[in-house]
Amino acid sequence: MLELKRALCIFALFKKQSMNSPSKKLITAALPYANGPIHIGHLAGAYLPADIYARYLRLKGEDTLFVCGSDEHGAAITLRAKKEGKKPQEIVNQYHELNKKAFEDFGISFDIFHRTSDPLHHETAQDFFLALNEKGVFEKEEKEQFYDEEFQQFLADRYITGTCPKCHNPGAYGDQCEKCGSSLNPQELIDPVSTLSGNKPILKKTTHWFLPMQEHETWLKEWIEEGVVDSKKQHDPKSWRKHVIGQCKSWIDGGLQARAMTRDLDWGVKVPLKDASNKVLYVWLDAPIGYISATKAWAKKENKDWKAYWQSSETDMVHFIGKDNIVFHCIIFPIILKAHGNYNLPVNVPANEFLNLEGQKLSTSRNWAVWLHEYLADFPEKQDVLRYVLCSIAPETKDSEFTWEDFQTRNNSELVGIYGNFVNRALVLTHKYFDGEIPQAKADLSEYQSIVDSLKQYAQNCNQYLQAYRFRDALVEAMAIARLGNKFLADTEPWKLIKTDEAKVKDILFISLQIAANCAVAFEPFLPDSSKKLKNLLNLKSANWESLGSLEILQSGNIINKAEHLFQKIEDEQISLQVQKLKATEKQTRMEEKKYLPLKEMIQFDDFSKLDLRLGTVTTAEAVKKSNKLLQLDIDLGFEKRTILSGIAKHYTAEEMVGKQVVVVANLAPRKMMGVESQGMVLMAENSEGELNLINTEDSFEPGSNVS
Ligand SMILES: [Zn+2]
């Protein structure tokens, strides 16, 4: 029954996808922001699925272009530059190179990794803006905006901080509160402050070019919900992820608003109009146009026509992004593409949800991440292991979680235990029994047909899932091929048969090697490095996607190479090192976050002199029942004895306290804690880690002495 259901489901997928098959594919992956390195959340969110898809299409022989590049504009970059005392260009150069290398190291097979600070991009974005402006797409309007009088400049949203009106976080930015996640506009902030001067900004009038998104609601809704644009079927909404459609719907149903497409900043693509000096394009207008300029740069180098990928009805465009970019790729960018005219809209935007790390949200600012360049330093040449794990847990339909323990298990029991083990045994036995020659098979083995059927089924499933952007499921099918081989060897036990039935062992190893070759093909989009290694071991020069499911990929009589392990076991110590690293980060962040307490309000001398501070000697001390913090102290003030409860039990034992001289706030009104009346307070210093230390005098003084 299950099998039937599965077959029907796959049939339905197949029917859906055979609707149209254009001759070209354009794949874009979100432009990474060039003010920080890439972590596993970025990789799992956009780059890995995009790469798997691109590799799959190429393996099928489809005309595929895969573009990306650094997003190098925006206020976050100028702020970072200012903080580090560098020029914005230096910051973006640094991260462009670092990220470019990380992508290369992880086998992300961009045809081009361009950058938005490139003059070709500036020209492309400016032309685009001018074309839209001439068509009257924008509304020019004067509005009030925050302005820093000392620095004489308008403040971009990120240059303003203040208290979040929703959660009262004092460090919210003008466009967003990172604590509660609310989108804000700067004028909603309570007590706004300019990050340039630290002064309160004033409101001043400035002109901007607005995109009235509300005017595009009707066609957007039809396009997203029904896949129809200009009365033509453009895509099948059922093939879109539910959360993508859901997010678009909620934006549209909530009512779209005009959004400024220009900013008062000096870093970015200059607005190409005479009356717009010191203005640049909104970074979210300029960044997606980066896909077009990347295509242009690639076409120029390869002597191809960039328009064939953007303006031809023969081309399908797919945007791979994380869910935080849905509105930009499904609403704003389509509006400007359509308003410009002649451009294709995406046929799908398979946005991923978020990946978490060990129970917490990934965070660049809190350093809560596994950085790609650091991973490779700790696990050299293990890029495929991370690709495998991240694809296995990809947050395709809901948020998911990376843990080091799961990483180790998937490597040791799946990659090493199943895939690697199977391939290794097939190769080792072929060398042991037949000197590495692929045996001639008679194909009369009883298992032959069922192996062929299973292989074909897995191959077909894998293919259908890849077409449906279900990469997790596709990877499971690829692994099923390795499982099939592993089980086949375990069931047939050629190492026992070799003594009695060599002919049968030839059949078994012939089939096993063909299954290994199938693995090399099926895993290629996911684990390109290990597939390359396996192909080399099998002396398999070329095998395309169409050969998947066949038992005739390898030629009998050919010689294979000596076995080498495709994967290595990851030991507990390596994993605990990573966990310790995260724990150290957590501690570091906690310390940084509470390094200095904010200063209290200024007081006058009279206020201070109201305090009556005295020296006292602790005569007896005992722990307070049911409290792990409090000690009950009897203190001699000379003129009288006091009982004082003090929250120092984690730092001092009762025994240690006896005989100690302490400073007491002697005129503090008594209060009851844990059923005991505390008649004053003992002064202590507290450091950033919450450790406590008693305040003492240098030499012992008589109890009751005044402290001031
Ligand atoms: Zn908030």
* pLDDT (0 to 100) of residue 20: 46
CA of 192 to the centre of ligand 1 (A): 14
For residues 338 and 625, which has the higher predicted lDDT (pLDDT)?
Answer: 338
pLDDT in tens, 186-201: 999 999 999 888 899 9
Most confident of 564-568, 587-591, 634-638: 564-568
Which of 35, 43, 55, 28 lies closest to 102, judged by CA? 43
Query: What's the mean pLDDT in 367-382?
Result: 95
**Residue 205 and residue 142: Cα distance in Å, rounded?**
6
Asked if residue 488 belongs to a domain, the reply is yes
Mark 579-591 as b/e (b = at least 16 C-beta within 10 Å).
Answer: eeebeeeeeeeee
What share of residues in the chain are helix, strand, coil (percent, to 5)?
45, 20, 35
**Residue 407 and residue 430: Cα distance in Å, rounded?**
32
In this prediction, residue 14 has a pLDDT band, given cuts at 50, 70 and 90, of very low
Asked if residue 117 belongs to a domain, the reply is yes
Q: Residue 331's domain is classified under what CATH number?
A: 3.40.50.620
Burial of 407 (0-12, 13-18, 19+ CB in 10 A): buried
| Shared-domain flag, residues 407 and 317 | no
| Shared-domain flag, residues 320 and 250 | yes
CA of 88 to the centre of ligand 1 (A): 29
CA of 173 to the centre of ligand 1 (A): 9
Query: What's the mean pLDDT in 203-208?
Result: 94
pLDDT in tens, 317-335: 999 999 999 999 999 999 9
CA 345 to chain centre: 25
Domain coverage including residue 61: 25-155+196-352
Asked if residue 160 belongs to a domain, the reply is no
Which two structure tokens, joined as six digits, stand for 157? 């949203």
| Shared-domain flag, residues 442 and 337 | no
CA distances from 3 to 473, 535, 550, 619, 658 (A): 15, 32, 22, 80, 76
| Shared-domain flag, residues 501 and 638 | no
- Main-chain phi, psi angles of 534, to 5 degrees: -65, -40
Which of 389, 378, 360 lies closest to 526, judged by CA? 389
| Shared-domain flag, residues 661 and 531 | no
Dihedral sign from CA coordinates of 15, 17, 19, 23: negative
Helix (H) or strand (E) holding 593: helix 572-593
CA of 592 to the centre of ligand 1 (A): 20
Which of 510, 508, 523 lies closest to 553, judged by CA? 510
pLDDT in tens, 276-299: 988 999 999 999 999 999 999 999
CA of 351 to the centre of ligand 1 (A): 25
**Residue 43 and residue 386: Cα distance in Å, rounded?**
10
CA of 164 to the centre of ligand 1 (A): 5
CA of 544 to the centre of ligand 1 (A): 52
CA 98 to chain centre: 16
Its pTM stands at 0.81
CA of 178 to the centre of ligand 1 (A): 7
| Shared-domain flag, residues 343 and 411 | no
CA distances from 606 to 29, 602, 609, 610, 707 (A): 64, 12, 5, 7, 15
Q: Residue 655's domain is classified under what CATH number?
A: 2.40.50.140
Residue at a domain's end among 547, 581, 616: 547
Pairing of strands 112-115, 63-70: parallel
| Shared-domain flag, residues 116 and 256 | yes
- Main-chain phi, psi angles of 275, to 5 degrees: -90, 30
Secondary structure (3-state) at 161: strand
**Residue 522 and residue 223: Cα distance in Å, rounded?**
34
pLDDT in tens, 539-576: 999 889 999 999 999 999 999 999 999 999 999 999 99
CA of 162 to the centre of ligand 1 (A): 10
Q: Which residues have CB under 8 Å from 183's CB, separation 6+?
A: 175, 176
| Shared-domain flag, residues 330 and 469 | no
Average pLDDT taken over every residue of the chain? 92
In this prediction, residue 625 has a pLDDT band, given cuts at 50, 70 and 90, of confident
What residue type is 461 in one-letter code? N
- In the chain, the percentage of residues whose pLDDT exceeds 90 is 76
CA of 91 to the centre of ligand 1 (A): 29
Asked if residue 590 belongs to a domain, the reply is no
CA of 165 to the centre of ligand 1 (A): 7
**Residue 445 and residue 558: Cα distance in Å, rounded?**
21
CA of 161 to the centre of ligand 1 (A): 12
**Residue 610 and residue 669: Cα distance in Å, rounded?**
13
Asked whether the predicted pLDDT for residue 2 surpasses 50, the reply is no
pLDDT in tens, 48-95: 999 999 999 999 999 999 999 999 998 888 888 888 899 999 999 999
Asked whether the predicted pLDDT for residue 617 surpasses 80, the reply is yes
Query: What's the mean pLDDT in 526-547?
Result: 96
**Residue 394 and residue 465: Cα distance in Å, rounded?**
14
* pLDDT (0 to 100) of residue 688: 66
Most confident of 426-440, 585-599, 629-643: 426-440
CA of 157 to the centre of ligand 1 (A): 15
* pLDDT (0 to 100) of residue 121: 98
**CB atoms near residue 339 (< 10 Å):** 17
* pLDDT (0 to 100) of residue 128: 97
- Main-chain phi, psi angles of 564, to 5 degrees: -135, 145
148 contacts 204 by C-beta, under 8 angstroms: no
Which residues are paired to 212 by β-bridges? Answer: 258
What residue type is 273 in one-letter code? L
Least confident of 151-165, 396-410, 557-571: 151-165
| Shared-domain flag, residues 305 and 249 | yes
Pairing of strands 631-636, 641-646: antiparallel
**Residue 683 and residue 705: Cα distance in Å, rounded?**
15
CA of 596 to the centre of ligand 1 (A): 22
What is the chain's length? 708
Helix (H) or strand (E) holding 13: helix 2-17
pLDDT in tens, 673-707: 888 899 999 999 987 667 888 888 888 888 999 99
CA of 612 to the centre of ligand 1 (A): 41
Residue at a domain's end among 352, 378, 409: 352
CA of 235 to the centre of ligand 1 (A): 38
Asked if residue 36 belongs to a domain, the reply is yes
* pLDDT (0 to 100) of residue 443: 67
| Shared-domain flag, residues 348 and 405 | no
Which two structure tokens, joined as six digits, stand for 672? 């009851």
Query: What's the mean pLDDT in 380-407?
Result: 97
* pLDDT (0 to 100) of residue 7: 47
For residues 626 and 126, which has the higher predicted lDDT (pLDDT)?
Answer: 126
| Shared-domain flag, residues 146 and 278 | yes
Residue at a domain's end among 293, 318, 352: 352
pLDDT in tens, 469-503: 999 999 999 999 999 999 999 999 999 999 999 99
Helix (H) or strand (E) holding 678: strand 676-678
CA of 201 to the centre of ligand 1 (A): 20
In this prediction, residue 595 has a pLDDT band, given cuts at 50, 70 and 90, of low
Burial of 476 (0-12, 13-18, 19+ CB in 10 A): middle
CA 414 to chain centre: 24
Q: Residue 469's domain is classified under what CATH number?
A: 1.10.730.10
- In the chain, the percentage of residues whose pLDDT exceeds 70 is 95
Query: Residues 423, 429, 432, 436: what is their CA dihedral angle, to the nearest 10 degrees?
Result: -60
Helix (H) or strand (E) holding 29: strand 24-29
pLDDT in tens, 211-265: 999 999 999 999 999 999 999 999 999 999 999 999 999 999 989 999 999 998 8
- Report the domain count for the chain: 3
Asked if residue 183 belongs to a domain, the reply is no
Query: What's the mean pLDDT in 122-150?
Result: 95
CA of 177 to the centre of ligand 1 (A): 5
* pLDDT (0 to 100) of residue 75: 83
* pLDDT (0 to 100) of residue 21: 55
Asked if residue 645 belongs to a domain, the reply is yes
Cα angle for residues 618, 620, 625 (degrees, 5° grid): 120
Asked if residue 513 belongs to a domain, the reply is yes
In this prediction, residue 442 has a pLDDT band, given cuts at 50, 70 and 90, of confident
CA of 368 to the centre of ligand 1 (A): 20
Dihedral sign from CA coordinates of 350, 114, 66, 401: negative
CA of 185 to the centre of ligand 1 (A): 12
| Shared-domain flag, residues 413 and 273 | no
Query: What's the mean pLDDT in 529-542?
Result: 96
CA of 146 to the centre of ligand 1 (A): 20
